[in-house]
A and B are shown apart, each in its own frame.
Chain A
Amino acid sequence: MHRQLMKGNEAIIRSAILAGCRAFYGYPITPASEIAEAAAIYMPEAGGVFLQAESEVAAINMIYGAAAAGERAMTASSGPGISLMQEGVSYMAGAELPCVIVDITRAGPGLGNIASEQGDYHQVVKGGGHGNYRTLVLAPHSVQEMADLTALAFELADRYRNPVVVMADGFIGQMMEPVEFPTTATSPRIPKWAVAGTEESRGNLISSIHLEPDKQEAHERQLEAKYTIAQRREARAEEWWTDTADIVLVGYGIAARILKAVAAEARAEGLRVGVLRPITLFPFPAEHFRRAAAHAQVFLVVEMSNGQLLEDVRLALNGARPAEFLNRMGGNVPSHAEVLESVHSLAQQIPPAEERQGLVAHV
């Protein structure tokens, strides 16, 4: 095992290149710029392309071109830049082009500030561009996951021919932790559908146009079918003690790290507390929530946004259990103390186990 201390933002590029990515087009923005800076060093060394584009709009369209030509391609940005890229993301979903987009989130709306927030949830998870499409979204909570989920993102992007977003907050991007990489690099073949300037690919067309309403509808239904399969196969979550939890803490990214610390302390106090951490935000791990709801009494959603994750948790629970809410915004992080206080408060409201024998059957 060869573990190295590394920033999340630096781990991403190494993992991407090991996964066969040879095209990075981006535009600087704090707190994602280190990803472009690492790409500027390593992409040419690995025989790939790095280019700083004139805007995020241009960058995502360069990704469109590289992906259309059959290359594993990626970009990285933060909220304001992701907003500008949404046109291109919609086109890529429509044209069924794979790519990986890294969003190192910051506080908003507008210029906001460069501190960590999770307010990009809606624009990324719900598909911030126009039309009927989704992006697959992975939410790392450690430097090791920055590497692992970036590699997974390329696999999923190719499998579903769809953009995949790796959404991390600035903490996960900036912090250093031990990380281990695969010892071998992979080199995917040029896909059969790509337009690669060759005789074999001459008959190929990359486009998102279907003039006839029936054909457009068929196309959109086929996209929807892909998302349904992804929902069935790709939903991922990490569960800490949820099988024996009365209170399930829910969060992703840096918030999930705090929840783990709180849960450990609460368990030490004898409280039945668990953590359910969505790893995929789309597809949302709804099944994990339904399972946990079978015995948990209450869910506490902790996020650094205005209830955007809460909405999906409530949809997943579908009224089976209450979902309480604790959030901080503007670049503030929910503190260990305030989460623990909420846990204590909820614990007092939960009837003792012997009094609620009859309740579980309703779920």
Chain B
Amino acid sequence: MSEETEYEIALSRPKAFYSAFERKEELQHQTHYCPGCGHGIVHKMLAQAIDSLEIQNRTVLISPVGCSVFAYYYFDVGNIQAAHGRASAVATAVKRTRPDSIVISYQGDGDLAAIGSAEILHAANRGENITVIFVNNTIYSMTGGQVAPTTLLGQVSTTTPKGRQAGNEGYPLHVSELLATLQAPVYIERVGLGDNRQIAQAARAVRRAVENQARGLGFSFVEILSPCPTIWKMSPVEAQHWVRDVMEKTFPLGVLRDLIAQAEPRPVPRPAPSLDEIPRILGVAPPAPAASAERSSPKPASPLDLQVRVAGFGGQGVLLLGEMLAEAGLDAGLEVSWLPSYGPEMRSGTSNCHVRLAQEPVDSPLVAHPDVLVAMNEPSLIKFAATVRRGGWIVYNGEAVPAECPAEGVHILARPFTHIADELGDARAANMLMLGALLEIAGSLPQASVDAALMRLVKSPRWLELDERAMTRGRELFQEAFEGVRR
């Protein structure tokens, strides 16, 4: 008989497998799996699916930690080996970075259902457009047969020597049922390798799960009940029957989610903007020459070196006051720093910031001894008054500085700024009143720079108008109190 001429090859090694396993140290013509191992059977149906869908070049296989850690020995596709349990997280990012790729996360039950339980749950819940092949053999095989989340009740393992007890290890974890409670997954099916019929169904499920992704439909998950003859201490045929006769009773086969008919292909990501557009998108593009010339503010009339501490309670606009000063300083061509209250200082709703304006680059942004303390409430005054350098200023939001407050050798402007702001239209403008007074102390900061800072930081027209009035009033309050006195 001449088979060459009368018979043709119908089923042979799928093309998605390497012809020789060169990444293997030895025995490069066969797998590292034990005789009768379910992984080899699942590998073959996955390779067939890749062949028939013609996606070999686009496929990226994520191999887990477990016996299938070496899946990359066999699959002639892009391969990434992931840390234990993390394959679904890795797959998530590969797919999002390369949406045209077909990303298959191949995981065992120790990997996926125990250490990787968070990663699979959230990848499923996000509806990542990936395919997850979950090989469940009820045991940690690679490490020698320890109990897994999927181990059957009563099943002996090296770490449940008397068999799994619900009272100690809990119940077998039904991952497919768990994931089927989520809204996002498109397809979830549990299949088995327990006999010919089951294996045929498993091959169909694997192909469907990969095809869903190729069609852009979303998260597809196939749990495969799989024999481990070695750890189960059975012959390959006994192990196959055990899948069908025992395992399936705990893990019923079937489709748990099928939204394939309803699922819409996921939207294609927007095309990325051109590189030229990036600085503008980030808000860092230099202003157009005309605009910047228009906006160019005069330089300070005299050199300015100012250290300011602004303090009050949260909601008084302490940080904004400081930021406005720093912005105005930058606009005027000065070196500036603004440091918000941070860490231990940030307690009981108090808030403060350090601001420095200088001719030279600012060395330390921390202001230990301010030239000006702007204290928006009494606790801030008490806390920081003693730190103000001799000859410096305190601008205080109150009728008068309490007698016990240590403020010798310091100029004081104490006014009920909150009440005055209220009369102007909104008590919350007190910070801008105090900024007005502060600007008078700072003296040489050009008004144009202050206006520019205000325009940049205050967007609402109502507040812009109110803040401008408040600042002007603050300047007047200072001038009324200290006619002719300037720092």
Contact = CB atoms under 8 A, between A and B. Distances in A.
A184 B302 CA distance: 36
A117 B364 CA distance: 17
Count class of interface residues, chain B: 35 or more
A288 interface: no
A258 B278 CA distance: 35
A116 B271 CA distance: 40
B368 A206 contact: no
A18 B62 CA distance: 30
Given A18-B279, A23-B93, A195-B60, A175 B82 contact: no
Interface in B20-66: 23, 25, 56-60, 62
Interface in A87-113: 87-88, 91, 95, 107, 113
Given A177-B337, A197-B58, A333-B366, A208 B344 contact: no
B270 A185 contact: no
Contact of A62 (B76, B80, B92, B335): B92
A71 interface: yes
B338 A337 contact: no
B403 interface: no
Contacts of A18: 278-279, 282, 284
Contact of B339 (A5, A54, A57, A171): A171
A134 interface: no
B378 interface: no
B97 A69 contact: yes
A161 B93 CA distance: 18
B83 A54 contact: no
Contacts of B146: none
Interface in B266-301: 269-273, 275-276, 278-279, 281-287, 292
B91 interface: yes
Contacts, number: 246
A203 B72 CA distance: 10
A174 B340 contact: yes
Contacts of B98: 69-70, 196-197
Interface string A222-254: 000000000000000000000000000000001
Nearest to A47: B272
Interface in A46-97: 46-49, 51, 53-55, 57-59, 61-66, 68-71, 73, 87-88, 91, 95
Contacts of A132: none
Interface stretch (B234-242, B322-330, B436-444): B322-330
Given A49-B97, A197-B60, A5 B323 contact: yes
A88 B83 CA distance: 7
Contact of A61 (B89, B271, B340): B89
A259 B341 CA distance: 20
Nearest to B362: A177
Interface secondary structure of B, over-half rule: mixed
Contacts of A71: 97
A2 interface: yes
Nearest to A179: B284
Contacts of A88: 83, 86
Contact of B78 (A64, A91, A202): A202
Nearest to B115: A57
A212 B119 contact: no
B255 interface: no
A176 B337 contact: yes
Interface in B238-267: none
B412 interface: no
Count class of interface residues, chain A: 35 or more
A66 B97 contact: yes
A58 B119 contact: yes
Contact of A204 (B78, B122, B271, B330): B78
A115 B102 contact: no
A309 B165 CA distance: 51
Contacts of A209: 69-70, 81
A25 B128 CA distance: 15
A85 to B, nearest CB: 11
Nearest to B354: A175
B364 A260 contact: yes
Nearest to A172: B365
Given A57-B86, A201-B78, A66 B335 contact: no
Nearest to B355: A176
Contacts of A95: 81
A45 to B, nearest CB: 5
Interface string A298-336: 000000000000000000000000000000001111011
B96 interface: yes
A63 B80 CA distance: 13
Contacts of B339: 171, 174-176
A209 to B, nearest CB: 6
Given A63-B93, A65-B82, A178-B330, 4 more contacts: A5-B323, A65-B93, A197-B98, A336-B364
Interface of B: 23, 25, 56-60, 62, 69-70, 72, 76-83, 86, 89-94, 96-98, 100-103, 118-119, 121-122, 269-273, 275-276, 278-279, 281-287, 292, 323, 326-327, 330, 335-340, 342-344, 362-366, 368
| Smallest CB-CB A-B distances: 8 pairs | A197-B101, A115-B343, A47-B272, A65-B93, A185-B278, A207-B81, A65-B90, A2-B286
12 contacts: A49-B97, A57-B119, A65-B82, A66-B97, A116-B343, A183-B286, A197-B78, A197-B103, A202-B78, A206-B81, A257-B364, A336-B364
